[in-house]
């Protein structure tokens, strides 16, 4: 493979944006952004200084890599009319199997970034783990070469392992983030700034870099401080869902730390 190549992005959201920027910085040329809406395809194309469109027939046929970073539902529904013959096509999904791409090209695989990516949040892409898969050993080597140009952390995982990693990622990222949002709302109700919690959130994530989550746990459920927990449930009166979540998570902590 040439050191640099021509790339078409299909999708213009969080992943397409961050990977598009990283690929450009690695010296590749994004030649076209295809997306569902004109608004997002043109926005990303402007950022990457390339062509764009919403019509499948406008997708150039001469790219070295087609990177499909669309919502999982869209990937599942497919792209009628898209034919890439023997061009390399990869998707970026954690949950979708690799062979979902076999209709489009005989040369296909996956580059799944095991990181939370947001369109407007800059990230050091060299430290984003990329989980790769391909339909043949030669194609795996090709995808590895592409992946190495943007990241220093590459894992070879199959579709089943990737689905498990994605599930774990939901527990490790999306659920805690929703709980940060809950904490923010609770503070707002009492006119306290979320800023005050940022050091705690930072240290919570930092601790598990040096010890296991089991070892890192603290708090009333671990200490079996039943009176405090009852007080917290009382403070959550009027919000049955949060009371339920508080009880379930406290029970999980109790069970986790009471098993020998
Ligand atoms: N964000 C993450 O942290 C992350 C990390 C790892 C993997 N992933 C995976 O990467 C993929 C993309 O995620 P994302 O976060 O980038 O999603 P996103 O920000 O919601 O962007 C999805 C993009 O797909 C486009 N799209 C939807 N339906 C389409 C269609 N039928 N044809 C063409 N484009 C279509 C949307 O177009 P419009 O904007 O025009 O509506 C949007 O640009 C998903 O498979 C996700 O699981 C995400």
pLDDT (tens digit, 9 = 90+) per residue, 103-127? Answer: 999 999 999 999 999 999 999 999 9
**pLDDT given at position 4:** 85
Tell me whether residue 27 is in a domain: yes
Specify whether 225 is located in the same domain as 111. Answer: no
Q: Residue whose CA is closest, atom 28 of ligand 1?
A: 74
pLDDT tens for 64-108 read: 999 999 999 999 999 999 999 899 999 999 999 999 999 999 999
pLDDT tens for 191-230 read: 999 999 999 999 999 999 999 999 999 999 999 999 999 9
Q: Which ranges of the chain would DSSP assign to H, the alpha helix?
A: 14-25, 38-48, 72-77, 137-150, 159-169, 175-189, 198-210, 213-216, 220-223, 226-235, 240-258
Specify whether 144 is located in the same domain as 194. Answer: no
User: Is the Cβ–Cβ distance between 216 and 205 less than 8 Å?
Assistant: no
Tell me whether residue 1 is in a domain: no
Asked if residue 241 has pLDDT above 80, the reply is: yes
Q: End of a domain among 106, 139, 157?
A: 157
User: Is the Cβ–Cβ distance between 70 and 87 less than 8 Å?
Assistant: no
Ligand 1 neighbours by CB, cut-off 6 Å: 10-16, 35-37, 40, 69-72, 74-75, 92-94, 112-113, 116-117
**pLDDT given at position 204:** 98
pLDDT tens for 141-172 read: 999 999 999 999 999 999 999 999 999 999 99
Spell out the long-range contacts of 167-173 with Cβ–Cβ below 8 A and sequence spacing 24 or more. Answer: 169/94, 169/114, 173/116
Q: What's the CATH code of the domain at 245?
A: 1.10.1040.20
SS3 230: helix
Specify whether 152 is located in the same domain as 171. Answer: no
Mean pLDDT across 230-245: 98
Specify whether 118 is located in the same domain as 186. Answer: no
Tell me whether residue 117 is in a domain: yes
Q: Which ranges of 71-130 would DSSP assign to H, the alpha helix?
A: 72-77
Domain count, the chain: 2
Dihedral, CA of residue 155, residue 96, residue 92 and residue 137, to nearest 10: 50
Range of the domain at 58: 6-157
List residues bridging with 133 in a β-sheet. 110
Average pLDDT along the chain: 97
Specify whether 168 is located in the same domain as 219. Answer: yes
Q: End of a domain among 157, 177, 196?
A: 157
In a mutational test of the pocket of ligand 1, which residue from 12, 15, 73 has the highest number of ligand atoms less than 8 Å from its CB? 15
Cα of 34 from ligand 1 centre, angstroms:
12
Task: Kindly tell me the sign of the dihedral angle through the C-alpha atoms of 94, 96, 97, 98.
Answer: negative
Q: End of a domain among 139, 157, 175?
A: 157
Pick the atom of ligand 1 nearest to 117's CA.
Answer: 3
User: Is the Cβ–Cβ distance between 98 and 110 less than 8 Å?
Assistant: yes
Asked if residue 236 has pLDDT above 60, the reply is: yes
Cα of 3 from ligand 1 centre, angstroms:
27
Counting beta carbons within 10 angstroms of the beta carbon of residue 204, is it exposed (0 to 12), middle (13 to 18) or buried (19 or more)? middle
Specify whether 102 is located in the same domain as 219. Answer: no
Specify whether 10 is located in the same domain as 107. Answer: yes
Q: Hey, which bits of 54-104 come out as E strands?
A: 65-68, 85-91
pLDDT tens for 25-71 read: 999 999 999 999 999 999 999 999 999 999 999 999 999 999 999 99
Specify whether 167 is located in the same domain as 147. Answer: no
Specify whether 137 is located in the same domain as 45. Answer: yes
Among 252, 197, 1, CA closest to 107 = 1
Specify whether 16 is located in the same domain as 48. Answer: yes
Q: What's the CATH code of the domain at 128?
A: 3.40.50.720
pLDDT band at 3 (very low <50, low <70, confident <90, very high): low
Between 2 and 223, name the one with better pLDDT: 223
CA dist 224 → 143, 151, 162, 227 (Å): 50, 44, 37, 9
Specify whether 202 is located in the same domain as 153. Answer: no
Specify whether 152 is located in the same domain as 190. Answer: no
Among 11, 61, 71, CA closest to 35 = 11
In a mutational test of the pocket of ligand 1, which residue from 9, 12, 13 has the highest number of ligand atoms less than 8 Å from its CB? 13
Tell me whether residue 242 is in a domain: yes
In angstroms, what is the C-alpha Rg of the chain?
22
């Amino acid at each position: 493979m040439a050191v640099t190549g021509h790339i078409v992005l299909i999708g213009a959201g969080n992943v397409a944006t961050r990977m598009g920027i990283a690929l450009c910085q690695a010296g590749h040329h994004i030649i076209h952004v295809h997306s569902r809406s004109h608004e997002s395809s043109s926005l990303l194309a402007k950022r990457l200084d390339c062509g764009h469109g919403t019509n499948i027939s406008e997708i150039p046929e001469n790219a070295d890599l087609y990177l499909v970073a669309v919502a999982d539902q869209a990937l599942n529904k497919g792209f009628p009319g898209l034919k890439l013959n023997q061009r390399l096509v990869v998707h970026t999904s954690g949950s979708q199997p690799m062979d979902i791409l076999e209709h489009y090209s005989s040369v296909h695989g996956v580059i799944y970034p095991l990181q939370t990516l947001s369109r407007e949040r800059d990230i050091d892409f060299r430290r984003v783990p990329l989980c790769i898969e391909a339909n043949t050993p030669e194609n795996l080597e090709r995808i590895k070469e592409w992946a190495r140009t943007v990241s220093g952390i590459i894992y070879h995982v199959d579709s089943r392992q990737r689905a498990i990693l994605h599930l774990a990622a939901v527990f490790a990222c999306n659920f805690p983030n929703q709980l940060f949002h809950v904490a923010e709302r609770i503070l707002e109700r009492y006119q306290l700034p979320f800023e005050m919690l940022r050091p705690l959130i930072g240290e919570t994530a930092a601790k598990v870099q040096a010890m296991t989550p089991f070892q890192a746990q603290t708090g009333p459920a671990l200490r079996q401080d039943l009176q405090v927990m009852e007080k917290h449930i009382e403070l959550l009166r009027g919000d049955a869902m949060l009371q339920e979540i508080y009880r379930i998570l406290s029970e999980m902590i109790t069970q986790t730390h009471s098993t020998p």
